[in-house]
C-alpha cells in the first residue's frame, strides 16, 4: 500500500531529498517526469519553482532556462511550490532539451548542409513527390502556428494546431504524457495512439518554407502505415521526436 503522508514518504529509499539533509521545513513529495523517466523527489514546499528547476538540472541535465514545468499550466519561476498548488503526489511534467541535445541538432544540421552540397547525395525532396505536393500546394494553413528555421524549443502546453493531414484536412497533435499517448485530432475524430506503438518519426523541411516541416509517424512496418502531417513548425520537430520515441 502506498504511504499517505509526506513524513512516511520521505523514509522511502527511492525518494531523493533536494540536499540530502533532514530539515524542519515542510516538505512535499513530487513525481518528476522527463522523457518517460520518473524520479520521486521530496522538496521544500516553500521553495520557488526556480529552485526546483535547479534540482531538476542535477537529475536530468536540463538547464533551468531551457525547462518548462507543466503543472496546472506552466509554473512560474518566482512562485513557491505552495503558491503553485503542489501537493503530495503531484505529477510534474518537465519539458526541455539538454545542451548536448541542442549541440547535436546543430551538428546534424551542419552535416546535412554539407551532404546537400555533394552531387552524389542529391535526392528529390519528399515535398516534391505527388502525394505530398498536392497537400503542400494548398499553401501555409491560415491558422498555422509561427515557425522558425533551425530553431529548437520545447513543446508548448497547448496542442500543436494549424496543420494538414494527407487528405488536406486540419489536424492537431496533443501529447498526453501521463497516458503515454499522442492524440491526432481531426474534425471527424480523435485517434489516441500509444507512443510505444510509434516505430519512428520521419521529418523533412518543406522546400521554400524551411521554417516548417512535414513529419510522419511510422505506425507499422511499411511506408503505407505512415501518418503524414504537414506544416509542423520546425522548432518543435526535435521535441516531438524526443517525446514520442
What would the 3-class secondary structure string for 15-82 be? EEECCCCCCCCCEEEEEEEECCEEEEEEEECCCEHHHHHHHHHHHHCCCHHHCEEECCCECCCCCECC
* Residue 143 sits in the same domain as residue 219: yes
Q: Which of 109 and 57 is assigned the larger pLDDT?
A: 57
Residue that terminates a domain, selected from 82, 100, 118: 100
Q: Is residue 113 part of a domain?
A: no
* Residue 234 sits in the same domain as residue 199: yes
Residue-wise pLDDT for 139-168, tens only, equals: 999 999 999 888 888 888 899 999 999 999
Residue-wise pLDDT for 16-40, tens only, equals: 555 555 546 799 999 998 877 889 9
Residue-wise pLDDT for 76-126, tens only, equals: 999 999 999 999 999 898 887 777 766 655 554 455 545 444 444 557 788
CA atoms within 13 A on the CB side of 28: 23
Q: Is residue 205 part of a domain?
A: yes
* Residue 136 sits in the same domain as residue 217: yes
Report residue 209's pLDDT band, with 50, 70 and 90 as the boundaries.
very high
* Residue 134 sits in the same domain as residue 238: yes
- What pLDDT, on the 0 to 100 scale, is given for residue 24? 62
Check whether 13 has a pLDDT greater than 60.
no
Domain containing 153 — which CATH number? 2.30.29.30
Q: Determine the Cα–Cα distance for residues 214 and 23; give it in Å rounded to an integer.
A: 51
| CA 11, 14, 18, 21 torsion-angle sign | positive
Which structural domain, as residue segments, surrounds residue 74? 27-100
* Residue 48 sits in the same domain as residue 155: no
* Residue 174 sits in the same domain as residue 237: yes
Q: Is residue 139 part of a domain?
A: yes
* Residue 144 sits in the same domain as residue 228: yes
Number of neighbouring beta carbons within 10 Å of residue 189: 8
Report residue 211's pLDDT band, with 50, 70 and 90 as the boundaries.
very high
Give the DSSP letter of residue 183: E
Q: Is residue 223 part of a domain?
A: yes
Mean pLDDT of 164-192: 93
Number of neighbouring beta carbons within 10 Å of residue 49: 23
Residue-wise pLDDT for 188-204, tens only, equals: 999 999 988 999 999 99
* Residue 42 sits in the same domain as residue 136: no
Q: Is residue 150 part of a domain?
A: yes
Counted domains in the chain: 2
Q: Can you read off the three cell numbers belonging to residue 169?
A: 484536412
* Residue 96 sits in the same domain as residue 179: no
Q: Determine the Cα–Cα distance for residues 230 and 213; give it in Å rounded to an integer.
A: 6
Q: Which of 170 and 121 is assigned the larger pLDDT?
A: 170
Q: Is residue 106 part of a domain?
A: no
Domain containing 44 — which CATH number? 3.10.20.90
The overall average pLDDT reported for the chain is 83
Amino acid at each position: 500500500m502506498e504511504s499517505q503522508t509526506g513524513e512516511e514518504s520521505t523514509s522511502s529509499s527511492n525518494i531523493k531529498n533536494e540536499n540530502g539533509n533532514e530539515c524542519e521545513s515542510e516538505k512535499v513529495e513530487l513525481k518528476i517526469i522527463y522523457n518517460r523517466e520518473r524520479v520521486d523527489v521530496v522538496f521544500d514546499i516553500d521553495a520557488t519553482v526556480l529552485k526546483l528547476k535547479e534540482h531538476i538540472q542535477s537529475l536530468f541535465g536540463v538547464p533551468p532556462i531551457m525547462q518548462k514545468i507543466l503543472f496546472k499550466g506552466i509554473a512560474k519561476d518566482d512562485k513557491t511550490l505552495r503558491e503553485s498548488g503542489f501537493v503530495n503526489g503531484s505529477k510534474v511534467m518537465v519539458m526541455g532539451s539538454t545542451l548536448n541535445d541542442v549541440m547535436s541538432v546543430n551538428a546534424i544540421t551542419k552535416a546535412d548542409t554539407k551532404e546537400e552540397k555533394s552531387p552524389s547525395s542529391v535526392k528529390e525532396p519528399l515535398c516534391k513527390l505527388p502525394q505530398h505536393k498536392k497537400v503542400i500546394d494548398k499553401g501555409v494553413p491560415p491558422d498555422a502556428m509561427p515557425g522558425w528555421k533551425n530553431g529548437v524549443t520545447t513543446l508548448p502546453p497547448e496542442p500543436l494546431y494549424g496543420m494538414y493531414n494527407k487528405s488536406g484536412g486540419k489536424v492537431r497533435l496533443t501529447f498526453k504524457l501521463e497516458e503515454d499517448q499522442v492524440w491526432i485530432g481531426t474534425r471527424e475524430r480523435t485517434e489516441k495512439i500509444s507512443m510505444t506503438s510509434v516505430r519512428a518519426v520521419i521529418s523533412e523541411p518543406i522546400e521554400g518554407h524551411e521554417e516548417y516541416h512535414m513529419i510522419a509517424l511510422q505506425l507499422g512496418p511499411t511506408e503505407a502505415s505512415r501518418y503524414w502531417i504537414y506544416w509542423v513548425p520546425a522548432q518543435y520537430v526535435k521535441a516531438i521526436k524526443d517525446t514520442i520515441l
